[in-house]
Chain A
Amino acid sequence: MADDLAMMPAHALARLFKKRKASPVEATKAALARIKTFNPVLNCMQHVDADSALKQARASEKRWSKGKPIGPLDGVPTTIKDMVQTRGMPTRMGSAAIAADGPWDTDAPAAARLREAGTVLVGKTTSPEYGWKGVTDSKLFGITRNPWDIHKTPGGSSGGGTAAAAVGIGNIAIGTDGAGSVRIPCSFTGLFGLKPTFARVPLYPPSTQGTLSNAGPMTRTVRDAALMMNVIARPDPRDWYSIPTDDAEDYLKGLKKGVKGLRIAYSPDLGFVEKDKIDPEVAQSVANAAKTFKKLGAKVVEASPKLNGLDPRDIENVHWTSNFSVLIKGFAPEKQALMDPGLLRAAEHGSRHSLEAFIRAGHQRVQLGVIFNQFFQDYDLLLTPTMPMPAFNVGEPAAWGGDGLDIGWTPFTLTFNLTRHPAATMPCGTTKAGLPIGLQIVGPHYADARILRAAHAFEETMPIPPPPMALGS
């Protein structure tokens, strides 16, 4: 029983807590037990604080027993990515150049909101250094592995969080996404993940990646992501981008309304991704998912925006390598020596962009945003593959044999970091080799709730399966 609690959706845990059929302490113990079982294999936890977790759980248990829980996430074991500052736990950005001593006295907005909501913060999950790549390994923690196949990467940069959530280390997880870092690992490990509309979930301290960066939920059910959004999508004065204070959307409202009548564009290539680069099994699963939406009553048409020669990959590459070049300058040479050579190469590459190239990339980013905004005047949602490929072998810095300097191998996700549109990934099948495939669902700005609603409708036709490893087989 206790072990089942680890794999239970957060929304189901709350029901058990309410009926006194389970307690936050039991749930936390289940998560801690799973850390013992799986972390040695997966290497997904940067930091675990069992004592603190149990203390938080006992406090939550008291609230539930008095019939006064803070909310539906009270007592739910939660993990937080190593890029999100958390009071009392080291946040090392996956970097050996960041000392472990702290002081760790700040909660980033998402951590603060989750703590206020009574969740049990179990530990911090691994990330590549400063989230610089789409796989999860670092000089600091080594290689994080995919629970569906431990020879594969869980993706990145929130790969620690997704590996953990997939096997029940925490019922919900927080990741960050600057080019796809929530959606890539959720796709590779078969989870739901949402990159909200830019600034809907506040960030602090400001990210190296500026307006490309977002924090978002990574969960095993869509409803759990909605519950998390109700907590974390609240303004915080420390984020000078965070959107209006009257933004108090209830993400559960309308979650079950379905997709009937919605105008949905299905774009297998987003208008720029070379067809031969898309794995046929991925393409087929996503095409099938589009058909499912048709059956559910949506008006699905195949359509792609015309990008007028813009290539989102080129635009993103200039932005993120430039940003890293400035980040690295903040470290003394002896600290730089501790850093991932790949990150240093990316930064060096970034320092070579001319001002003209950088500003041009900024303007192209805006043009791209305008194109997608106009596209969304005709469509309520857009479906694409999340990734062109399923998870690949650990030890590679990028797919297709890339060196990591070009993040063009995740073309579908990075486009919406540039345009700031909300985008989620939803598991839509597995390959013959048994690896999960992700469907990306994108919406107009601020239509985060509509994306959750569509994903929920799809989930009812195809519930998210756990990796066999998590079932203890």
Chain B
Amino acid sequence: MKSDLTQASAAELSALYRKGKASPVEALKAILARAEKINPTLNALCLIDAEPALKQAAASERRWKNGAALSALDGVPVSVKELVRVKGWPTLMGSKAVDPHQPWDEEAPSVRRLREAGAVIFAQSTSPEFGHKGVTDSPLRGVTRNPWNLDKTSGGSSGGAAAAVAARLGPLAVGTDGGGSIRLPASLCGIVGHKATFGRIAAWPPSVNGDLSNTGPMTRTVEDSALMMNVIAKADGRDPTSLPPDDTDYVKKIDGKLKKLKIGLVLKFGDHDLDPEVSALVTKAAKTFQKLGCDVEEATPDLGGVDGRKTFVIHWLCFVQRVLQMFPSERHQLLDPTLLAMARDGAKYSSADLVAAMADRRTLSLGWNRFFERYDLLLCPTVAVAAFDTGKMAPDQADGTPNQRWSPYTYHFNLSRHPSASVPCGLTRAGLPVGLMVTSGHYRDALVLRAAHHYQRAAPLKMPALPAT
């Protein structure tokens, strides 16, 4: 009796393939069967390309039989967010305004690397239009739901990817993160997501969001994120912001020692509400790190008086307003009204506002660099709340108005370019997952993953069969 292959991590699948106990075709078929059942409810995958994927899986099966697997990810099914190009698939960015009739003949670097490694690229996951918000719905795709509670949002913008991975529609997903879009849905869906140091994972075409944007892995285990990093953390000639290649073996590095790391715990990034349940779970996680031999203390970063939210919002809106120029005005009515409103707000800024925000960004980032001179790692909540109802852009406050500061953490490290991962650290009483964010100095991606890995082993989140019914 074969176990349910949809439950297996990529590392487990790889081991089964190697021993001949399961095949890539069987794994893919199990995932496709599951998708057929649950994706209509979740709306996490907007394109399932079964036939070519089965061909890729069959080719992988032959390689494993011949002892010629291309990598540990050979034959492992992976989904790709609809902001990332896959050859042959319309990459519509969640938008009705994007013309689907294009050649779609070039692939993003991360996808190309995964294909070279033999991974089976089987589905495209949903995103809000151009990834502009922290929840996943769009005029093109409708609402994506959280498998832990179908009334709740999966977060965004990689909400399709996070919902798919949590619901076991493939162990691996490629997401993107311009202000938290990998870590935020990972937190809300109880999975792992890593935003690498900017430039570590090459991207193409250049993002509308410039150097805030990152491609990265979304998985159920940290080990799987490390496996993906080994494949996608490469330079690419098409990305002029790629870092110099390094040959870090992330899988090897995650087992390294954790002891004696100096860790700063920061529960709040300023004047914002923090759900007491989130606060308690993150504090508990910090204690786990102490038990693992780390030196943990509460810390306060000195960010030079810069208002991080304002700095981020100006960058974000100014970038978003570019959609107004990308499409002729008669097509603007096709855009998500929330996107259009943000773009129009962005267009009100002057270039001097943006240049001043860029200067503030440098000051804020310098503050974090100095923090990471003192601490090897920063622990904080990934998001200030657990998942909230779909159909809203932000959760309600006690007085019924929207809480605009529900995600005050993640964007700091898009501004500052530091590596930052979210790892599940428990459930609220309502049974919704909460994420712990682990962040470190530039280029210390391996340390971030190592810490998250040790933590996940020490405090694994038991995942029920999802979606919950």
Chain A residues whose C-beta falls within 8 Å of the C-beta of B246 in the assembled complex:
244, 246
Q: How far is the CB of A1 from chain B (nearest CB, A)?
A: 44
A322 to B351, CA, bound (A): 7
Q: Is the CB of A277 closer than 8 A to any CB of chain B?
A: no
Chain A residues whose C-beta falls within 8 Å of the C-beta of B366 in the assembled complex:
204, 206, 238, 240
Chain B residues whose C-beta falls within 8 Å of the C-beta of A419 in the assembled complex:
240
Asked whether B237 lies within 8 Å of A244 as measured between CB atoms, the reply is no
Cβ proximity bits A225-243 to B, threshold 8 Å, 1 near / 0 not = 0000000000001111111
Please, which residue of chain B has its CB at the minimum distance from the CB of A362? B210
A445 to B362, CA, bound (A): 22
Interface size counted on chain A using CB atoms at 8 A: 45
Chain A residues whose C-beta falls within 8 Å of the C-beta of B322 in the assembled complex:
356, 359, 363
Our pick among A242, A355, A446 for the contact of B350 (Cβ within 8 Å) is A355
Asked whether A243 lies within 8 Å of B325 as measured between CB atoms, the reply is no
Asked whether B356 lies within 8 Å of A326 as measured between CB atoms, the reply is yes
Q: Is the CB of A19 closer than 8 A to any CB of chain B?
A: no
Cβ proximity bits B234-248 to A, threshold 8 Å, 1 near / 0 not = 000111111110100
A135 to B325, CA, bound (A): 38
Please, which residue of chain A has its CB at the minimum distance from the CB of B367? A240
Chain A residues whose C-beta falls within 8 Å of the C-beta of B353 in the assembled complex:
355
Asked whether A356 lies within 8 Å of B362 as measured between CB atoms, the reply is no
Asked whether B358 lies within 8 Å of A210 as measured between CB atoms, the reply is yes
Asked whether A420 lies within 8 Å of B240 as measured between CB atoms, the reply is yes
Chain A residues whose C-beta falls within 8 Å of the C-beta of B443 in the assembled complex:
243-246
**Which residues 320-362 of A sit at the B interface, judged by CB distance below 8 A?**
322-323, 325-326, 329, 350-351, 353-360, 362
Q: Is the CB of B321 closer than 8 A to any CB of chain A?
A: yes
Are A355 and B354 CB-contacts (below 8 A) given A210-B362, A240-B417, A244-B442? yes
Which of these binds chain A: B48-56, B222-230, B258-266, B368-376?
Answer: B368-376
A239 to B319, CA, bound (A): 25
Q: Is the CB of A247 closer than 8 A to any CB of chain B?
A: yes
Asked whether B244 lies within 8 Å of A247 as measured between CB atoms, the reply is yes
Q: Which of A350, A373, A377 has the most CB of B within 10 A?
A: A373
Are A240 and B351 CB-contacts (below 8 A) given A210-B362, A374-B238, A446-B244? no
A249 to B382, CA, bound (A): 37
A243 to B241, CA, bound (A): 11
Asked whether B351 lies within 8 Å of A355 as measured between CB atoms, the reply is yes
Asked whether A329 lies within 8 Å of B352 as measured between CB atoms, the reply is yes
Chain B residues whose C-beta falls within 8 Å of the C-beta of A242 in the assembled complex:
442
Please, which residue of chain A has its CB at the minimum distance from the CB of B353? A355
A173 to B362, CA, bound (A): 27
Q: Is the CB of B104 closer than 8 A to any CB of chain A?
A: no
Asked whether B204 lies within 8 Å of A370 as measured between CB atoms, the reply is yes
Chain B residues whose C-beta falls within 8 Å of the C-beta of A204 in the assembled complex:
366
A351 to B241, CA, bound (A): 28
Please, which residue of chain A has its CB at the minimum distance from the CB of B364? A240
Q: Is the CB of B359 closer than 8 A to any CB of chain A?
A: yes
A376 to B239, CA, bound (A): 12
A139 to B408, CA, bound (A): 46
Asked whether A445 lies within 8 Å of B240 as measured between CB atoms, the reply is yes
Chain B residues whose C-beta falls within 8 Å of the C-beta of A350 in the assembled complex:
351
Cβ proximity bits A355-392 to B, threshold 8 Å, 1 near / 0 not = 11111101100110110111011000000000000000
Asked whether B358 lies within 8 Å of A373 as measured between CB atoms, the reply is no
Asked whether B243 lies within 8 Å of A243 as measured between CB atoms, the reply is yes
Please, which residue of chain A has its CB at the minimum distance from the CB of B197? A244
**Which residues 402-451 of B sit at the A interface, judged by CB distance below 8 A?**
416-417, 441-443
Q: Is the CB of B22 closer than 8 A to any CB of chain A?
A: no
Asked whether A370 lies within 8 Å of B369 as measured between CB atoms, the reply is no
Asked whether A353 lies within 8 Å of B206 as measured between CB atoms, the reply is no
Chain B residues whose C-beta falls within 8 Å of the C-beta of A322 in the assembled complex:
351-352, 355
Q: How far is the CB of A308 from chain B (nearest CB, A)?
A: 14
Q: How far is the CB of B238 from chain A (nearest CB, A)?
A: 6
Q: Is the CB of B349 closer than 8 A to any CB of chain A?
A: yes
Chain A residues whose C-beta falls within 8 Å of the C-beta of B166 in the assembled complex:
none
A376 to B210, CA, bound (A): 22
Asked whether B325 lies within 8 Å of A326 as measured between CB atoms, the reply is no
A422 to B351, CA, bound (A): 28
Cβ proximity bits B316-337 to A, threshold 8 Å, 1 near / 0 not = 0011011001000000000000
Q: How far is the CB of A38 from chain B (nearest CB, A)?
A: 38
Q: Is the CB of B95 closer than 8 A to any CB of chain A?
A: no
Chain B residues whose C-beta falls within 8 Å of the C-beta of A445 in the assembled complex:
240, 242, 244
Chain A residues whose C-beta falls within 8 Å of the C-beta of B240 in the assembled complex:
366, 369-370, 372-373, 419-420, 445
**Which residues 294-339 of A sit at the B interface, judged by CB distance below 8 A?**
322-323, 325-326, 329
Asked whether A373 lies within 8 Å of B352 as measured between CB atoms, the reply is no
Asked whether A355 lies within 8 Å of B318 as measured between CB atoms, the reply is yes
Asked whether B206 lies within 8 Å of A237 as measured between CB atoms, the reply is no
Asked whether B362 lies within 8 Å of A323 as measured between CB atoms, the reply is no
Q: Which of B210, B319, B362 has the most CB of A within 10 A?
A: B362
Chain A residues whose C-beta falls within 8 Å of the C-beta of B442 in the assembled complex:
240, 242, 244
**Which residues 360-413 of B sit at the A interface, judged by CB distance below 8 A?**
362-363, 365-366, 368-370, 372-373
Asked whether B238 lies within 8 Å of A373 as measured between CB atoms, the reply is yes
Asked whether A206 lies within 8 Å of B359 as measured between CB atoms, the reply is yes
Asked whether A237 lies within 8 Å of B237 as measured between CB atoms, the reply is no
Q: Is the CB of B347 closer than 8 A to any CB of chain A?
A: yes
Are A240 and B210 CB-contacts (below 8 A) given A355-B353, A359-B322? no
Please, which residue of chain B has its CB at the minimum distance from the CB of A211? B211
**Which residues 75-111 of A sit at the B interface, judged by CB distance below 8 A?**
none
**Which residues 195-233 of B sit at the A interface, judged by CB distance below 8 A?**
204, 206, 210
Our pick among A239, A244, A420 for the contact of B244 (Cβ within 8 Å) is A244
Chain B residues whose C-beta falls within 8 Å of the C-beta of A238 in the assembled complex:
366, 369-370
What would be 12 A-B contacts, judged by CB atoms less than 8 Å apart? A210-B359, A238-B370, A239-B369, A240-B417, A241-B417, A243-B244, A244-B243, A322-B351, A322-B352, A322-B355, A326-B359, A355-B347
**8 closest A-B pairs (Cβ-Cβ)?**
A369-B240, A358-B351, A206-B362, A240-B365, A244-B443, A326-B355, A366-B206, A446-B244
Chain A residues in the interface with B (C-beta under 8 A)? 204, 206, 208, 210, 237-247, 322-323, 325-326, 329, 350-351, 353-360, 362-363, 366-367, 369-370, 372-374, 376-377, 419-420, 445-446
- Since A206-B363, A355-B353, A446-B244 are in contact, a sample of 8 more A-B pairs with Cβ atoms closer than 8 Å, ordered by chain A residue number, is A237-B369, A241-B417, A244-B246, A244-B443, A246-B443, A355-B351, A357-B351, A359-B322
